[in-house]
Amino acid sequence: VRTPSGGRHLWLTGPPEVVVPNSAGRLAAGIDIRGAGGYLVGPGSRTDRGVYAVSPGTAHLAPAPCPHSLLRLLLPPRRRHRATPGGAHGLGLVQFVQAAHEGQRNTRLFWAACRAYEDGIGDQLADALTEAAVHTGLPEHEARSTITSAARMTRPTS
């Protein structure tokens, strides 16, 4: 798809079981990736700068499969598995944060941290929650600040 500013959008398909996260500039400067939870601007869409259009000679083509070598670059690096404090409940809270998309990362982190502190595992789970939030793109200092706020909010009043 040609953009009004002269850019290009390449549409590729991937295996349904593979979740590609959204990113901006992670692959290379000026290259944004739209995957799980992302949105695309399709041909025919209009902006103040002009119209998005199908590149000449490609209207009849379906999106091509993403080459495996490119797909590996689009995925976040695999992390070594380690035990999560708080057992299955703690793991569930961490996974809840890891599934956050832009626009919901801080809210999900705050909710999960509040539940962890209410259940008495907040201090044990703080590092794992921070790591999960950073994995979604939230800056570490913001993640730690949100967890501190959750701890303060859930402290029993005297």
> At 83, is the secondary structure helix, strand, or coil?
coil
Strand bridging mode 50-51 / 64-65: unpaired
pLDDT at 56: 93
CB contact set of 56 (below 8 Å; sequence gap of 6+) = none
pLDDT at 3: 93
Strand bridging mode 32-33 / 50-51: unpaired
pTM to 2 decimals? 0.48
- d(CA 97, CA 138) in angstroms, rounded, equals 11
**Residue 34 near residue 41, CB atoms below 8 Å:** no
pLDDT at 78: 62
pLDDT at 136: 92
Element (H, E) at 123: helix 122-136
Regions of the chain short of the pLDDT cut 70: 77-86, 156-158
pLDDT at 77: 67
Retrieve residue 110's tokens.
Answer: 């705050």
CB contact set of 99 (below 8 Å; sequence gap of 6+) = 108
pLDDT at 66: 92
pLDDT at 108: 92
